[in-house]
Chain A
Amino acid sequence: MLNLTEKELIQNLATGDSLAFAHVVEVYQERLLHFSFHYLNNREIARDVVQDVFTVIWEEHKKFHQVKNLSSWLFTLTKNQCLKKIEHLKVAQKHLGRLQHKQLNLSQDSLSHLDTSPLIFNEIDSIFRQTLGKLSPQSRRIFEMSRFENKKNREIADELNISIKTVEACITKALKVLRPALKQYLPVVFF
């Protein structure tokens, strides 16, 4: 693991440093996969998308000079790549089932309303800290495990020796608290 600040890392990326690149892959790969899978509901396609994102940032590393927020940049690229993929799937796979087609449409709508601007990445930490502070330490721990460590509910339950129902309840509760806090960033449907 490289011990660099975000700024240093971005500078190294801009010069095409492959170690810095490998480090970014290491830190973000899982999370971007998780994100893509959330909207695409297909692991292979999600992998393709993330692979494409890393290919793009490697090939266009000179653009990193303009990047201010690495997370925002990567999630925005992934979001756009997912949208492109959905568009492509809808055209290329005519044989797609009716249900799959509907699900893709829903993902497309949700995703296009998703804010991945640097603003949200900069604010979200303080929002999380403030809101999650209202929860019990255990609930907070459970939520963080699911949020950052990509753990399944079952694994969290095993690790903390509690029932899976408790885990689910805690996560639902955390989301309920977060929702009003994140309200201004959540999608608004325009008529």
Chain B
Amino acid sequence: MNKEKLHKFTLNKLSKESEIEEVLNWIESSEENKQEFETLKNLWAMAGFANYEDYAGKKSCKTQKLGKKRVIPMYLLKYAAIFVLAFFIGSTSVYFLWNKESNELVWNEIIIPDGESAEIYLSDNTHIWLNSNSKLTYPQKFEGKTRDVKLSGEAYFDVSHNPENPFFVQTPELTVAVKGTSFNVQAYNSDDEVNVTLIKGKVSLQSPKGKFVSELSPGENAKFDLTKKTISLSKADTEFYTSWKDGYLVFKNETLEDIVRKFERWYNITVIFDDEEIKQIEFTGTIMKNKPIDQIFNILKYTAGIDYSFEIINHKPSIIHLKKKSM
């Protein structure tokens, strides 16, 4: 038995059925072999064991003020699976093709409307999660020296490694150049900034004409101000920028105004503030995406003294008014 195959099987890395079959046959052929497999399997699991202090110490130390906070206790989700990133291609996105004059690349376009999200793989095995209200244009097959895609909206990229053919994400004002890494790009036309957050690896930021602007290290966020044309780098809580792809939203001391903007995209609703002052209330917490909208506003009601009312359009709550709870 080829040890490498057994090893790969143990780590769930064999994909060919014939190879899986081969390993399974070997394991089943004797008790010793089975024990060998079990030992290896559990050894790997145990390699990840450590006590709390070790774990906590190994995470990059983020300091966080523990002042007075409003916490949205939304972790309890008995009946809902957290990962419901269904593939909505058929009903929610529009595909069309056209030919680019310069070469014969066939380009696809995928449009994600408000309230939906999607996950796709490109021809080079790059994995992309697209958030609500986003558009991605990409070639059906990558050819030539570079891998180019165009984005408006928000997407998380897990780019497959290939130093020979760098990968470019183009947004109208900023281009992200990478070789192979994971990062999040937020470039909504309606926002006045572009956010790029790097999870691992290395990316460089360029102007649309290809001029070098800046480089990012893992855990850093670059904020590009579209009006001032300035860029600022900061250490970021990457989870804050990327949790949407796993079906939840994380808020850390974020104002209701900013949170509501995310809700609008996520649930395809319009929110109107009837009282200006509540915009500035800050929240910290986690919200699961597949919660019904009224449950989320109920929590605001009970924890923050905010009242809400729905205007129903087409049998769906579509416009939501927020105001201070009357005494």
Contact = CB atoms under 8 A, between A and B. Distances in A.
Interface of A: 1-2, 5-6, 9, 18-19, 21-22, 25-28, 31, 34-35, 37-39, 41, 43-44, 47-48, 51, 54-55, 58-59, 69-71, 75, 99, 102-103, 106-107, 109-111, 113-114, 116, 120-122, 124-125, 143, 146-149, 151, 154-155, 158-159, 172, 175, 178-179, 182, 185-189, 191
B20 A99 contact: yes
B71 A18 contact: yes
A113 B7 contact: no
Contact of A114 (B42, B55, B161): B42
Nearest to B55: A27
A25 to B, nearest CB: 7
A142 B72 CA distance: 39
18 contacts: A1-B59, A6-B53, A9-B52, A18-B73, A26-B239, A35-B45, A38-B12, A102-B28, A114-B42, A114-B46, A121-B49, A121-B51, A147-B48, A148-B55, A154-B161, A178-B47, A187-B39, A189-B31
Nearest to B79: A55
Given A18-B73, A37-B12, A106-B38, 20 more contacts: A6-B53, A19-B66, A27-B59, A28-B55, A48-B83, A58-B75, A106-B24, A106-B27, A106-B41, A107-B41, A109-B34, A109-B38, A113-B42, A149-B58, A154-B180, A155-B200, A175-B43, A182-B46, A186-B39, A189-B38
B52 A27 contact: yes
B63 interface: yes
Most buried by A among B27, B38, B83, B239: B38
Contacts of B61: 1
Given A38-B44, A125-B50, A55 B55 contact: no
A135 B28 CA distance: 34
B59 to A, nearest CB: 6
Contacts of B17: 99
Given A6-B53, A58-B76, A114-B45, A47 B201 contact: no
B209 interface: no
A1 B81 contact: no
Contacts of B83: 43-44, 47-48
A40 to B, nearest CB: 9
A186 B77 contact: no
Nearest to B37: A106
A54 B75 contact: yes
Contacts of B97: none
A187 B12 contact: no
Contacts of B21: 99
Contacts of B24: 99, 102-103, 106
Contacts of B48: 31, 34-35, 147-148
Nearest to A28: B55
Contacts of B42: 110-111, 113-114, 186-187
B81 A55 contact: no
Interface in B215-257: 239, 246
Nearest to A188: B35
Nearest to B163: A158
A187 B239 contact: no
